[in-house]
């Protein structure tokens, strides 16, 4: 069972499905299914239902995640544990994230090399010592996951011998892509290669490339090159297979020594011991963009902007229902008021503080900054990321007025 995050971008969902199909080809005698936490169908429980219908009693579940942040540590385990509790005859064994792995580094290196070869062919040779590598991570409220992106950067930096390398993030933490590239542009390198360390395309990758273009426009003296994300590289599929085998061998161990939910990580001490609980019930299975959206499945989140929707005659729905599955729509008649800014545009961290006293901090898979303000009767807000006001983090993003 391959457990993905999900995306409003239908192309991203298609690429994830391609990975799942690639794994099916590698396990011809074993049922293979997949599912998503949010924004896509099938949801994880539906994939498990299909395995259950085939008579499966033991499931090897692997997270389709590069690093272990809130999704891999809390959201997916919560869904799996709930399903197992509701289906006593099924045992679900959970694997670890793809993580820091030499096969993943090699796959990343091949994506970067392809971009370098293409740029040299089109624009002429630029020496590696005159090139800066910018690795773009997803960004999380978990410093352990963020630090892994920096390690990937260092491995690639030393592997190629670039003149310089840095790390920035698409959301939640700092520095974001705009500030990160603007800083890098001051260092005097002739070429900057931007590599999104992402598995699939989607809103975030499109935004990374768009922000690269914005910074490049201000620095015509620098050659900005956009490398491809990982996608279904054969070495990525090899790593997925390794994670499955780790479950079989009883070696599926996460890096719990650095987990902010279990140890006192500097600056995140208040999150030790928070329960495993998923917040994705409110966006589970709601699907991606609108059928008649001009993006034609390659969503960049413009359909969450009031001005864009009015210009294209589309419904603008900045809030969504907690009913699942359900279309995006304003919430009415649920017995509690919601004040959601779900523009789906900026990074954020979540804290779920329910009536029963649960606090749950994690990063969300989409790149949007918003606060949840639920009226009494459904106290449901999110653990504040301690550096949300960092000048090079989410507050540096342009806030659209709606």
Q: pLDDT (tens digit, 9 = 90+) per residue, 54-76?
A: 999 999 999 999 887 777 877 88
Average pLDDT, the chain: 77
Query: What pLDDT score was predicted for residue 143?
Result: 87
> End-to-end CA distance of the chain, in Å?
40
287 domain-assigned: no
110 domain-assigned: yes
Query: What pLDDT score was predicted for residue 208?
Result: 97
Query: What pLDDT score was predicted for residue 287?
Result: 52
Query: What pLDDT score was predicted for residue 56?
Result: 97
Residue 187 sits in the same domain as residue 240 = no
Most confident of 145-154, 257-266, 285-294, 320-329: 145-154
Instruction: Residue 27: give its domain's CATH number.
Output: 3.40.50.1400
d(CA 341, CA 359): 21
Q: Which of 110-124, 259-273, 295-309, 385-399 has the lowest mean pLDDT?
A: 259-273
317's CB contacts (< 8 A; 6+ apart) are 328, 329, 330
Question: Between 122 and 364, whose confidence is greater?
Answer: 122
Residue 71 sits in the same domain as residue 175 = no
Query: What pLDDT score was predicted for residue 41?
Result: 86
Percent of the chain exceeding pLDDT 90 equals 48
324 domain-assigned: no
Residue 119 sits in the same domain as residue 133 = yes
Residue 187 has pLDDT above 60, yes or no: yes
pLDDT band at 77 (very low <50, low <70, confident <90, very high): confident
343 domain-assigned: no
Give the pLDDT confidence of 80-103 residue by residue, as tens digits.
Answer: 999 999 999 999 999 999 999 999
d(CA 192, CA 164): 9
Query: What pLDDT score was predicted for residue 304?
Result: 62
Query: What pLDDT score was predicted for residue 38?
Result: 82
Residue 203 sits in the same domain as residue 248 = no
Nearest to 130 by CA among 187, 61, 46: 187
Question: Between 152 and 327, whose confidence is greater?
Answer: 152
Q: Which of 123-132, 156-165, 307-316 has the lowest mean pLDDT?
A: 307-316
Query: What pLDDT score was predicted for residue 74?
Result: 79
d(CA 396, CA 369): 11
Give the pLDDT confidence of 128-162 residue by residue, as tens digits.
Answer: 999 999 999 999 888 888 999 999 999 999 999 99
pLDDT band at 8 (very low <50, low <70, confident <90, very high): confident
Residue 192 sits in the same domain as residue 145 = yes
Question: Between 5 and 223, whose confidence is greater?
Answer: 223
d(CA 71, CA 74): 6
Residue 39 sits in the same domain as residue 131 = no
383 domain-assigned: no
119 domain-assigned: yes
d(CA 31, CA 176): 40
Number of independent structural domains in the chain: 2
Torsion of CA 301, 324, 359, 350, to 10 degrees: 0
Q: What is this structure's pTM?
A: 0.71
d(CA 262, CA 327): 36
Residue 357 has pLDDT above 50, yes or no: no
Residue 266 has pLDDT above 70, yes or no: no
Adjacent-strand bridge partners of 135: 167, 195
Residue 191 sits in the same domain as residue 222 = yes
State the helix-helix crossing angle for 203-217 and 177-184, rounded to 10 degrees.
30
Residue 397 has pLDDT above 80, yes or no: no
Residue 149 sits in the same domain as residue 220 = yes
Query: What pLDDT score was predicted for residue 395?
Result: 73
Range of 83's domain? Answer: 2-99+234-270
Query: What pLDDT score was predicted for residue 302?
Result: 62
171 domain-assigned: yes
Residue 198 has pLDDT above 80, yes or no: yes
């Amino acid at each position: 069972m391959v457990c993905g995050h999900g995306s409003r971008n239908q192309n991203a969902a298609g690429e994830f499905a391609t990975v799942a199909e690639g794994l099916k080809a590698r396990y011809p005698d074993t049922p293979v299914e997949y599912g998503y936490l949010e924004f896509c169908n099938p949801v994880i429980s539906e994939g498990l239902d299909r395995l259950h219908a085939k008579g499966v009693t033991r499931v090897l579940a692997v997270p389709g995640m590069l690093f272990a942040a809130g999704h891999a540590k809390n959201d997916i385990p919560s869904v799996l544990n709930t399903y197992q509790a509701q289906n006593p005859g099924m045992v679900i064994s959970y694997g670890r994230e793809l993580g820091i792995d030499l096969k993943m580094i090699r796959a990343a290196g091949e994506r970067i090399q392809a971009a370098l070869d293409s740029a040299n062919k089109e624009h002429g040779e630029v020496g590696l010592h005159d090139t800066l590598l910018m690795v773009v991570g997803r960004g999380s409220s978990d410093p352990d996951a963020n630090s892994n992106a920096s390690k990937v950067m260092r491995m690639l930096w030393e592997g190629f011998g670039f003149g310089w390398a840095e790390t920035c993030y698409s959301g939640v933490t700092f520095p974001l892509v705009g500030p990160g590239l603007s800083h890098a542009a001051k260092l005097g390198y002739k070429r900057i290669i931007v590599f999104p360390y992402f598995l699939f395309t989607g809103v975030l990758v499109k935004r990374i490339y768009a922000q690269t273009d914005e910074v490049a426009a201000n620095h015509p003296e620098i050659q900005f090159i956009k490398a491809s994300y990982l996608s279904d590289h054969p070495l990525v599929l090899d790593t997925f297979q390794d994670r499955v085998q780790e479950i079989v061998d009883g070696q599926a161990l996460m890096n719990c020594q650095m987990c902010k939910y279990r140890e006192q990580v500097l600056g995140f001490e208040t999150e030790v011991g928070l329960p495993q609980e998923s917040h994705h019930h409110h966006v589970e299975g709601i699907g991606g963009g609108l059928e008649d959206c001009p993006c034609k499945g390659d969503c960049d989140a413009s359909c969450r902007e009031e001005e864009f929707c009015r210009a294209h005659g589309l419904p603008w729905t900045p809030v969504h229902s907690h009913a699942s599955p359900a279309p995006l729509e304003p919430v009415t008649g649920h017995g509690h008021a919601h004040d959601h800014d779900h523009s789906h545009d900026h990074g954020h961290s979540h804290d779920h503080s329910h009536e029963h006293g649960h606090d749950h901090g994690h990063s969300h898979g989409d790149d949007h900054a918003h606060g949840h303000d639920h009226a009494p009767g459904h106290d449901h807000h999110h653990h504040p990321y301690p550096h949300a006001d960092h000048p090079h983090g989410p507050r540096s993003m342009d806030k659209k007025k709606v």
